[in-house]
Amino acid sequence: MCATCGCSEGAAGVRVIDPMSGHDHDHRHSPSPEHGHGHSHEHGQPAAPEPDRGHTIALEQRVLARNDELAERNRRWLTERAILAVNLMSSPGAGKTTLLERTIVDLAGELPVSVVEGDQETLLDADRITATGCRVVQINTGSGCHLDAEMVDRGLRALRPPERLVVFIENVGNLVCPALFDLGEAAKIVITSTTEGADKPLKYPQMFAAADLVLLNKVDLLPYLSFDVPACLAAVRRVNPRTMVLPLSATAGDGLPAWYDWLRDRVGP
């Protein structure tokens, strides 16, 4: 996490951008030292020694406690407006954005959707979402490797979602830190793919243990790969017996009806 992984070392700051208006809610600032930022020193001066392990653990606890407070505030705000917030997490290239594009288009007119898009830099994914006609706000995290509750709060303020819709939060591509940060979402979804190893759930157990749903994407490529589906399913069950796994292909359409039914069940009547 931020206190130890160095994801925020030298971070330029967080930017919340509305691609449609072109307005940049520039939040570049000197972040709180509590979050691992601002570790600079005079040229020629020795760097401060690394904190001992006990200090690091206490710092991590404070960071997460503060995040959890803000996440609960986000959750109350979303619940009061009957907004279903879904946190999409995966490694880079697993197909989050492609799945979002397909879902928005296929459910147009049935489920109103808005998107909070998280990436370290660029508007590339936000532009793809905008092309579907969906409302989107981009959060650029700089060198940060995950979204947190405060960033999502800023994103929701810029997004201004109406009541009774689905907000997809596409997290930064990373199978480590995003698992630790509650955003105030109603559900965490992990997307893995057949182009990755079937042992991913065992290598990144915290991510898969946090999942309310696992989507196994790119099943259309199985004839061309040596991916072991039963081994992957067994690995998921080992770290998270309670979760469901839905195989699908965001490009070919295989398995998408089950994914859409899962969404409909959580939106309700």
The pLDDT tens digits for 43-62 are: 445 555 555 555 566 666 78
Q: Which amino acid is residue 10, in one-letter code?
A: G
* Model pLDDT for residues 91-113, shown as the tens digit of each residue: 999 999 999 999 999 999 999 99
Cβ(150)–Cβ(116) under 8 Å?
no
Q: Residues 114-137: pLDDT tens digits?
A: 999 999 999 999 999 999 999 999
The predicted pLDDT at position 21 comes to 74
Q: Is 176 contained in some domain?
A: yes
Domain containing residue 211: CATH number: 3.40.50.300
Please state the φ and ψ torsions of residue 225, each to the nearest 5 degrees: -125, 165
**5, pLDDT greater than 60:** no
Whole-number pLDDT of residue 54: 56
* Residues facing 116 on adjacent strands: 137, 169
Whole-model pTM: value is 0.83
Q: Report the pLDDT value the prediction gives residue 121, as an integer from 0 to 100.
A: 95
Residue 205 confidence (pLDDT): 98
In a domain, 41, yes or no: no
Q: Is residue 33 part of a domain?
A: no
Cα gap 149→79, rounded to integer Å: 15
Residue 83 clears pLDDT 90, i.e. is over it: yes
Q: Token digits for 159?
A: 């997004």
Average pLDDT over residues 70-74: 98
Mean pLDDT to the nearest integer, 202-212? 98
pLDDT, residue 50, reads: 58
Q: Which domain holds residue 150?
A: 12-25+53-267
| Tens of pLDDT, residues 242-263 | 999 999 999 999 999 999 999 9
Q: Would residue 40 count as lying in a domain?
A: no
Domain total for the chain?
1
Of 7, 186, 213, nearest to 90 (Cα)?
Answer: 213
The pLDDT assigned to 56 comes to: 60
Q: Which residue has the higher pLDDT, 43 or 176?
A: 176
User: What's the confidence (pLDDT) of residue 57?
Assistant: 63
Least confident stretch, 42-56, 84-98, 212-226: 42-56
Q: Is residue 31 part of a domain?
A: no
